[in-house]
Structure 1
Amino acid sequence: MDIYTVVQQLVEKAAAVHLIEDADKIYARNQVLSLLHLEEYKEVIHEESDQDIPTLLEEIVHFAVQKGLIENFFDDREIFASKVMNVFIARPSTVNEQFYQKYYESPVKATQYFYELSKNSNYIQMKQIRKNIEYKVATQYGDLDITINLSKPEKDPKSIAKAKAVKKGNYPSCLLCVENEGYAGRIGHPARSNHRMIRVPLLGEVWYLQYSPYVYYNEHCIVLAEEHRDMKINRDTFERLLLFVEKFPHYFLGSNADLPIVGGSILSHDHYQGGEYEFAMAKAEIDWTFKMDAFPEVESFVLKWPMSVIRLRSKAINQLVSASSRILEVWRTYCDKTVEIVAETNGIPHNTITPIARKRGEYFEIDLVLRNNRTNEQHPLGIFHPHAEVHHIKKENIGLIEVMGLAVLPARLKNELVEVEKFLLNKPNQIESYHLPWANQLKKKYDHFTNENVSDIVRKEVGKVFLQVLEHAGVFKRNEQGMTAFKKFLQKVSLVKD
């Protein structure tokens, strides 16, 4: 297929998914031709293409490489692809105007519009995301989601070497800053020419709604502060989360904790994550019910969940905010050495909360997951962090998404688990040594492995390891000692059992 046909088919596809109107086609085509340094256009016979936008875009990028317009490096290709797709997207002011026009019809229509725009513009890279391995594993706490993350393309050695050789810039300050909107990108900083954000007023500030380029679940969004400032869990956090779900009642919104180890990957920029998805934790059973005497309009529960979760429910946002703030205030300084909980070491804080808000009918809910990031000699990466025996599956921090029951597992497992399966089938294999203790346990646990059942067994057992990960991260363990300690804490925050 010649380049003119590819360009024209990309233009037609963009019109078909409503990125542009028919009146924009010639303009858009000329903009793409300009990026390709093509001064003429050869008319082509219009043929309906079965190729999607990402595939057509790859062909255009390949042409640019072949013609020497860009170098064949990962970052250069991504930057060029982003510039091409920017041709087909309206300016931020227009996108925001269209979003709020649809919002007045319904919040669902508004987010659907923006989500489709983000996918069709290749900002959300659905072609890459489809490479992820995803499945569910049944447990006593509900169905946990397992994802082996294969969506983020691995950079080639030349790209990595080039990135190391280039002086790092400080604009934008981080990957979440508002200055990323429309930023072309550079070596070591992702391309964002085709990036758009929705302005959302929250508690006297403008916050920005965008989607994750590599979504882990339906409409996986990020809501970020305009100011580049550190993550902080406080009263304002609870209020913003609840105000957001009041505006978008079909979404949940939560925040990573604000301390290392128990927090997310970017603690330098205040932000939240949400979307239209119901995680296992949202559907968790109530373990026991409490009353908060100071907040009579708030229903209070402890969830049956491997981590330590308090759920508050009320029709009144201000009551939920005050009750959540009370729990956070007490938890920040709470100690119970019988269960390894120490609030600080030499002035360095250890206790914080991962909060998640949602709306169910007339009621608002906020889940408060108690976190502690203390380390010791036995657990140098964290006492309430995945322990060494599960590092062969999950060693990384347990952030907001994992807390709710979705495992984001490293890409290495795609091939490593195949070797585990071969080992279980007594076939020649290259199993990693760190999987051997687990694999030998599986051999003892199961009577017989076959070509037909081995994959299902390994998948199920990976899910059980992830459950162990969540149990390790729970500050009050689900045993008699842990539950007694949990109730002791709840008494401290003036909770009285029914």
Structure 2
Amino acid sequence: MIHGLITSLINKGLDASLIEKTDVNYVRNKINSLLGIESVEEDSTVSTDNIPGILAEIIDFAVEHQVIGNNLDEKEMLAAQIMDSFIPRPSVVNQTFYQKYKESPEKATDYFYQLSKNSNYIQTERIKKNISFKADSDYGELEITINLSKPEKDPEQIKRERLMKNDAPSYPKCVLCKENEGYVGRTAYPARSNHRLIKIDMLGEDWSLQYSPYVYYNEHCIILSDQHRPMKINQDVFERILTFTKKFPHYFVGSNADLPIVGGSILSHDHYQGGNYEFPMMVADNAFTFELNHFPEVQAAVLKWPASVIRLHGQTINQLVEAAEHIRKTWVNYSDESQNIVSHSGEEPHNTITPIARNKGDHFELDLVLRNNRTTNEYPFGIFHPHEDVHHIKKENIGLIEVMGLAVLPPRLVEELDQVKDYIIGQVDSVNTEHQVWADQLKEKYNHLVEEAEVKAVIEQELGVKFARILEDIGVFKNHDSFKTFIHKVNQLDS
């Protein structure tokens, strides 16, 4: 049957334009070699499954015939190596990308995104497991995703990783480094044989574009520096991300903040995230507009949004970059103890920014989300971090994606929320301790509901309420007056 599976995979590769007919023998021999097969036999058993499904069956064969061990790492590495047989070398991928770019940026990214999906680098079948829905809030519609796409580690895998931890190689330096392209993987490190990067010039520096293997939204991409250097929010970041939107006007691009707690990302490697997607924050209304005295050509507003966001509009990149850098410099040294905002503890900085850029056709738009990572005895996880009363839903850092209104929640919630549903309709007497107070509130509020579908719907809506509360926690200004005090400071200081 393995010969039929290999034929099926090759046929799917042909259908997806990963290979041409002249590549068939080459690809078959590469796969046979990886599986330790020394002959080719006719097999009429042809699978109608998709590429991930056929690939999974081939991996099962490899485990059954002891080609690899029955553990996650070896399965992932072999799957990536098999799919690497179907895709061109990086130089060819880049050449094709930029040929299509001459037609339009959209055609270039469409090509690379489709290649990344067809080659199983983007884990399309696993992503389908995610639970996603929308919920109304005082700030508009928010998006919720319960992340079920990453494979669970069994005890043997966890044991292997623990044993490997102290002796792990230092190559590549991290999962974002350019050296990951084509890297076979190892214990506790992802397989990247089928990984490709698009080279991009960013203000005279070498950067690369890739897609996230577990995309959270359409065309979720990562733009990474070819240098392994720490993230740093400064004037160059504003210019880079705006320039990127000039090159790829259909993509937004933003950066996580560069400090712990509010960073929500890999701070050791300079990178941004982008994609072809409209987040809830992007369509938020203005709470109020204001003038920037030193930059009259830039329009400015504070958004009606739970996080503290300044939106700038400008005709040119230079105008926006200069205005954003002036705001950043003011914010980095700004304190308002009435709002619990302290800029420094000794030499340790607390204030930083999460910036997001878009190309609107006739102008550019730059959002500046003000962040502060200070902790206290009262708030050991962070003053402007999800507070403990919402930790039963989310206690991890709130990064770029969630700031914009898409919650990425842990998989534990699937079972726990199902228990809350059963509690509301009286099928169980209690729930997980962390959820009990919330479950009691919901039971009192919705005790008139008896249908499971109705209860499920209200729990989803209440999750949206919780997520809005989480975003309110990270907002550094809790009212317009305190925000206007900061804006007054911005306009006082010389540019």
**Separation of aligned partners in 1, 2:29 and 2:434:** 55
**Separation of aligned partners in 2, 1:464 and 1:314:** 34
Report matched runs for 1:58-457 at 5 Å: 58-166=56-164, 167-428=167-428, 431-450=431-450, 451-457=452-458
Partner letter of residue 488 of structure 2? Q
User: How far is the alpha carbon of 1:429 from its aligned partner?
Assistant: 5.8
The count of corresponding residues between Structure 1 and Structure 2 is 490
Contact 2:430 2:436 in 1 (8 A): no
Contact 1:419 1:429 in 2 (8 A): no
RMSD value, Cα: 1.2
Partner letter of residue 195 of structure 2? H
1:349-376 Cα deviation digits (max 9, x unpaired): 0000000000111110000000000111
**Separation of aligned partners in 1, 2:286 and 2:461:** 25
After TM superposition, the runs of 4+ consecutive aligned structure 1 residues lying more than 4 A away are none
**Separation of aligned partners in 1, 2:355 and 2:458:** 34
User: How far is the alpha carbon of 1:46 from its aligned partner?
Assistant: 7.7
Partner letter of residue 459 of structure 1? E
TM-score normalised by length of structure 1: 0.97
Equivalent position SS for 2:43: coil
Equivalent position SS for 1:274: strand
Distance 1:309 1:208, change over 3 A: same
**Structure 1 partner of 2:489:** 492
**Separation of aligned partners in 2, 1:102 and 1:122:** 22
Distance 1:25 1:303, change over 3 A: same
Partner letter of residue 143 of structure 2? D
**Separation of aligned partners in 2, 1:106 and 1:343:** 44
1:264-299 Cα deviation digits (max 9, x unpaired): 231100000010110010000011111212112211
Partner letter of residue 243 of structure 2? L
**Structure 2 partner of 1:17:** 16
Partner letter of residue 483 of structure 1? H
Q: Runs of 5+ in structure 1 lacking a partner?
A: none
Q: Runs of 5+ in structure 2 lacking a partner?
A: none
Partner letter of residue 129 of structure 2? K
**Structure 2 partner of 1:36:** 35
**Separation of aligned partners in 1, 2:133 and 2:492:** 38
**Separation of aligned partners in 2, 1:53 and 1:386:** 40
**Separation of aligned partners in 2, 1:364 and 1:452:** 43
1:19-74 Cα deviation digits (max 9, x unpaired): 11111111111110111111110123385x42000011011111111111111010
Contact 1:73 1:159 in 2 (8 A): yes
User: How far is the alpha carbon of 1:430 from its aligned partner?
Assistant: 6.0
Contact 1:211 1:221 in 2 (8 A): yes
User: How far is the alpha carbon of 1:444 from its aligned partner?
Assistant: 2.2
User: How far is the alpha carbon of 1:431 from its aligned partner?
Assistant: 1.7
**Separation of aligned partners in 2, 1:429 and 1:446:** 16
**Separation of aligned partners in 1, 2:278 and 2:429:** 39
Partner letter of residue 351 of structure 1? N
Partner letter of residue 295 of structure 2? F
Partner letter of residue 487 of structure 2? L
